[in-house]
Amino acid sequence: DAGVIQSPRHEVTEMGQEVTLRCKPISGHDYLFWYRQTMMRGLELLIYFNNNVPIDDSGMPEDRFSAKMPNASFSTLKIQPSEPRDSAVYFCASSSGGGRGVKQFFGPGTRLTVL
């Protein structure tokens, strides 16, 4: 299994530009999670999906952030417009539900720098 795949691995953009982060979960997993990690705030859950449906987006910082999951094998996290304070490492994770289901598998992350 290839594991969770994220792209790009690194992204450098200028303030005001649109940024799209991509994630391919592990095949067969029905939960997908987006996290953000910064030195100041640590690892925070932004949003998660179950069977492609957003379940909890209470961690999404503001309307500039949006996430979609058009099918079971693909999800995007979009920031529009981006700001320097959005600079962070963004992780995608997936897991298989049913029972306890909290063995989440994380991708390698996307390091975003907004200038």
Partner 1 sequence: DAKTTQPPSMDCAEGRAANLPCNHSTISGNEYVYWYRQIHSQGPQYIIHGLKNNETNEMASLIITEDRKSSTLILPHATLRDTAVYYCIVRVANSGGSNYKLTFGKGTLLTVNP
* Site residues, partner 1 (CB under 8 A): 4, 31, 33, 42-45, 48, 50, 55-56, 91, 93, 95, 97-109
Q: Which lies closer to partner 1 via its Cβ, residue 9 or residue 15?
A: 9
Q: Which lies closer to partner 1 via its Cβ, residue 15 or residue 43?
A: 43
| Residue 98 tokens, joined | 């049913």
Q: φ, ψ for residue 84 (rounded to 5)? A: -55, -35
- DSSP codes, 13-57: E-TT--EEEEEEPPTT--EEEEEEEETTTEEEEEEEEETTEEEE-
Q: Which lies closer to partner 1 via its Cβ, residue 66 or residue 96?
A: 96
In whole angstroms, the minimum distance from the beta carbon of 30 to partner 1 comes to 10
